[in-house]
Amino acid sequence: MEGKMAAIIKHNMILLGAAGRNSGKTLLACNLIKRYAQQFPLIAVKVTTIHRKGETCPRGGEGCGICASFEGAYCILEEKNGDLQKDTSRLLASGAWKVYWLRAVKDHLEEGMEALLRLIPEGTAVVCESNSLRTFVEPGVFLIIRTKNQKILKPSARAVLKYADRVVTFDGRELGDNPFDISLENIKLAHNRWILEETGIPSGG
């Protein structure tokens, strides 16, 4: 794709961004994990970019308190409990071999991701949730997920929208038939490389 940035090339990674809150990003990640985890060693990653006190919360409102309480440049936690309702637990319960949560101050995000990548063995596929990561990582496939009524994109999504291989629309359903306007059959994992089959051409190449 024209204009793609590529500091770190990771074709074994599918990167899922979100246009806003409750976009269905984690649901799509879980569905992909369920589809492929029994065939391939697969690790899931959730990335949270930390904004320091005094800055506008990227989530709007009063936020969740993560940024205000965070200390240091970055922190990597491994999720061990798949019985909770938080995103990382859902990813683990879906069948991921391991799940990591990277929290990093925005100026140290690349440093934190490089540290996390050292924890991921060769030959392992990665499902990662993040917008900001696309500023320096070129994944196999990059999707931005939005709700069907989404009109305004949050800043981190606007910054990388032009690099998306596809914008996927979520209809809001957690149960039932596929709630996305893309079939999981069109998102392939072959030879440790994610491919968006709609184009017939491996993304990132």
- Which CATH number goes with the domain that contains 88? 3.40.50
Does a structural domain hold residue 46? Answer: yes
pLDDT of residue 70: 64
What band does 172 get if pLDDT is binned at 50, 70 and 90? confident
Asked whether residue 199 carries a pLDDT value surpassing 60, the answer given is no
What does the alpha-carbon distance between residue 155 and residue 153 come to, in Å, rounded to a whole number? 6
User: If 0-12 CB within 10 Å is exposed, 13-18 middle and 19+ buried, where does residue 57 land?
Assistant: middle
Q: Which amino acid is at 45?
A: V
What does the alpha-carbon distance between residue 92 and residue 98 come to, in Å, rounded to a whole number? 7
pTM of the model: 0.87
pLDDT of residue 11: 95
Does a structural domain hold residue 1? Answer: no
Does a structural domain hold residue 97? Answer: yes
Does a structural domain hold residue 181? Answer: yes
Residue with the bigger pLDDT between 65 and 153: it is 153
pLDDT of residue 68: 55
Asked whether residue 129 carries a pLDDT value surpassing 60, the answer given is yes
What band does 83 get if pLDDT is binned at 50, 70 and 90? confident
Please count the structural domains in the chain. Answer: 1
Does a structural domain hold residue 116? Answer: yes
**Which residues are CB-neighbours of 1 under 8 A, at least 6 positions away?**
163, 165, 203
Q: Which amino acid is at 78?
A: E
Distances (CA, A) of 141 to 17, 116, 174, 193, 201: 11, 19, 23, 9, 11
Does a structural domain hold residue 204? Answer: no
Asked whether residue 135 carries a pLDDT value surpassing 60, the answer given is yes
Containing structural domain, residue 92: 8-196
What band does 61 get if pLDDT is binned at 50, 70 and 90? very low
Task: Please give the average per-residue pLDDT across 4-15, as a whole number.
Answer: 82
- The residues that bridge with 76 in the sheet, in sequence order, are 102
pLDDT of residue 53: 46
Does a structural domain hold residue 205? Answer: no
Task: Please give the average per-residue pLDDT across 139-167, as a whole number.
Answer: 93
Alpha helical stretches, state H, the chain? 25-36, 66-69, 87-93, 109-117, 155-160
Q: Would the CA dihedral through 151, 59, 100, 3 be positive or negative?
A: positive
Asked whether residue 171 carries a pLDDT value surpassing 60, the answer given is yes
Does a structural domain hold residue 70? Answer: yes
What band does 127 get if pLDDT is binned at 50, 70 and 90? very high
pLDDT of residue 177: 87
